[in-house]
Structure formats: C-alpha cells, structure tokens
Amino acid sequence: MSFQSELLSKEDESYILAHVDLDDPSLFNLSDEISIDDFQEQKYSLLLHNEQTVALNGNYQNTHDYYPADLPKEAESIKLEDQKLNVTQGEFQGPYDFQVIVCTGSKNPWEYSAQLNKIYTDRKSPVPIDFIVKNNSPDTQLFVRVTPMFNSPQYAQDCVYRCPNHEFNGPSDELPKEKCHIVKCLNKNTEYYGDKAKGDRLSFVIPLARTDRVRERFEFYCLNSCPAPGINRKPVEIVFTLEDIHGNTLGRKNLNVRICSCPRRDREKDENIPAAKSRKRGMIVAKKPSKKASVVLSRNLQELTVPVLGPQMRNNVLKYVHDLYAGEILRCGDDIEKQQPYLQGLESVKTIIAKFNDNESSSITQLSHF
C-alpha cells in the first residue's frame, strides 16, 4: 500500500507504513454501517496526523514522546509552551484570586520595598514567598511557573541567564539543566525547563500543595552587576504564573528583583530617587542644619585688633563683620532680646566705618551702601 504526501519523502512514507497498520479497522472505530469511502477518509486523516507529528518533532517519535520526560509525575500531561516566545508580563489575579506575598520580618538578610514592589537580596540568601490561591478544589492540582525576565521594553526579548562565572562555579550538587538559572526554588519537586544553548527562555514549575496558602523559598545565584551574558545591570523581574495541569494560565503576578551585596543601602537609595530628582529640577528641599550651624555664638562683645594691609583689606574686613552681624539679627526673627547683642555689635561696626569715612575721602564710595 502507498499514498501521496507533499510533506514526507518516500523513505518517510515507508517508515510510517511500517509502524502503522492502516488496514486495521480498530484504529478507526469502524462500525457495520461505515462505508468504504469513510474508511479511506479516516485513513487519510491518520496519515496526515502522523506527518504533522514528524514535522514538529524532527524525528520519528510517537506523539506521546514529544513531551519532555522530566515533567512532574503529577503533571505528565501539563502543556509546555515554547519558552523562546515572549512571556506576557501583564498582571491579573484570575478565578483563584492569585496573590504573591513576600514574607517580611526583622533582621532578614533581604529587603523588600512595598513602594517599588521590589526584593533586594544577596546571592544564596533564601527568600520566603507565599502564594495565595482561594477557592481551590482538593481535586485540582495547580502549579506556579517562575520566569525571570528583563522588565525594560528594549530588553524584553532577551533571555535571562547566569554569567559564566556563577554558571560554572555554582553549587556542587546542581544538575546541568539548573546551572543557567539565576533563581531556583528549594522545593525538591521543582522541574526546570529551557536550554541556554538553544536560546530558550528559562523557567521552572512548582507543584502547589492543595491549600489556600503555600510558602516556598527562593535563592538567587547571579548579581545584577554581573557582566554579559549575565544580567549586566539591566532591571529584572520575576513573573509568577498560576497554571493548571494542562498549562492554562489562571493568574499572573510580577515581582521586581535586585541581587546585590548591600540590600538595605540599595533599597534606601532607590526609594529616595524621586526626592533626588526633585532637587535637580530646582525644588527647594529643607536640609538639616549642620553641627557648625547649630553652635550658639557668645553674646559678650570682645575687642579684637587685627593688622590689615591697606585700606582695601580694612574695608573688606569691616564689610564681612557688618554682614555677619546683620545675618545673625535676621536669624533671631522678632525676638528683640536675642537681637540686642548683635544690634550692639552692628552699631559698633558702623561707628568704626563712619570714623574712617570722615578721615579718608577715598573710602566713601566703597562704603556708602552701609
């Protein structure tokens, strides 16, 4: 028996015919009433299905073998989307009111900014994150897919990998398929997907326990400052996708991440960025007085003899002392009692200036504004 095919060569046709018994009516659920034409039509459909399977896989495997063998045992039929495609980053809670909450507390080695929805953590510091799923049936198995992505539009199509240093100097017990991931889950049932050599986008899947709230711990293995092909100082976020056993998306949440050696310093710096930009735009921001400005000056007048060279230097010294007294008077506000010693000192300076003005006509022009 033979057939015409535009997809397969003669060798391919021979292979399919050798592995599929086209004359076996049990393959087509034949009944006594089916006609021979219907029988031929169902045979053609089966052949077309086999051709498409071969074209997709690039080899002669059954359709069951197309799915990776490293899927969780509870999710052997979970649908794996092509990780080379762009993952949608838009958030939605879905039918299960999906939520992702970073566990906070005192004396943690990581920092969380609610203002920026961002985690600041050092390498290999376990960060606990709670997943909340409401109205989950005990018979429904749900999963969370974790996908690191660059959250800037110009880098959204790029895949996130570890830098070569941390890839080849990771934990000794790491499996080869885990070495390129910048983030890992400490759950032993986690399954990792994607191949850096093929340009795949990396992700991993965590089976959720059938409860309303599940806590998982995550570790990061590469710094934001690591050079390319690492993160290379580009902003990173983690996309958490709630999926069912068939790979249908039921919810999605995003979390910004910065992996650094000083989490607290970087968090405080990022949270103060708006204020810093305001100052650059000319907005007046009150500053705390320095220790020097807070020193209380003595209110007892003291006589001071200072040798000066020539009338110009003398006039400059007198002008400086005059301005110093005037400034202190302004700082006292309307408090007459505090102003009194500075007013007395200012009058003394004015008397000295007037004396020199009377004796030297050359100084009148320079000091007339007093």
Condensed to tens digits (0 to 9), the pLDDT of residues 263-302 reads 999 999 999 865 545 444 545 444 554 444 334 455 566 7
- 320 and 341 housed in the same domain: yes
For the chain, report the end-to-end CA distance as a whole number of angstroms: 118
Annotated binding-site residue numbers: 163, 166, 222, 226
Q: Is the sign of the CA dihedral 172, 173, 174, 175 positive or negative?
A: positive
What is the tally of structural domains in the chain?
3
Domain assignment of residue 26, given as a range = 10-66
Asked if residue 219 belongs to a domain, the reply is yes
- Residue 325: the pLDDT is 82
What is the rounded (10 degree) CA torsion for 285, 286, 292, 297?
140
Asked if residue 79 belongs to a domain, the reply is yes
Highest mean pLDDT among 44-48, 71-75, 153-157: 153-157
Supply the angle between the helices 36-57 and 10-19 in degrees, to the nearest 10: 110
- Residue 52: the pLDDT is 39
Q: Please give the model's pTM, rounded to 2 decimal places.
A: 0.54
Mean pLDDT taken over the chain:
75
Q: Fill in the amino acid letter for 124.
A: K
Condensed to tens digits (0 to 9), the pLDDT of residues 81-139 reads 444 444 666 899 999 999 999 998 778 889 999 999 999 999 999 999 999 999 888 88
**DSSP per-residue codes, 314-351:** HHHHHHHHHHHHHHHHHHTTT-HHHHHHHHHHHHHHHH
Annotated binding-site residue numbers for Zn(2+): 163, 166, 222, 226
- 128 and 209 housed in the same domain: yes
- Residue 278: the pLDDT is 46
- 120 and 48 housed in the same domain: no
Alpha-carbon 210 to chain mean position: 29
- 50 and 145 housed in the same domain: no
Place of tokens 């650059």: 280
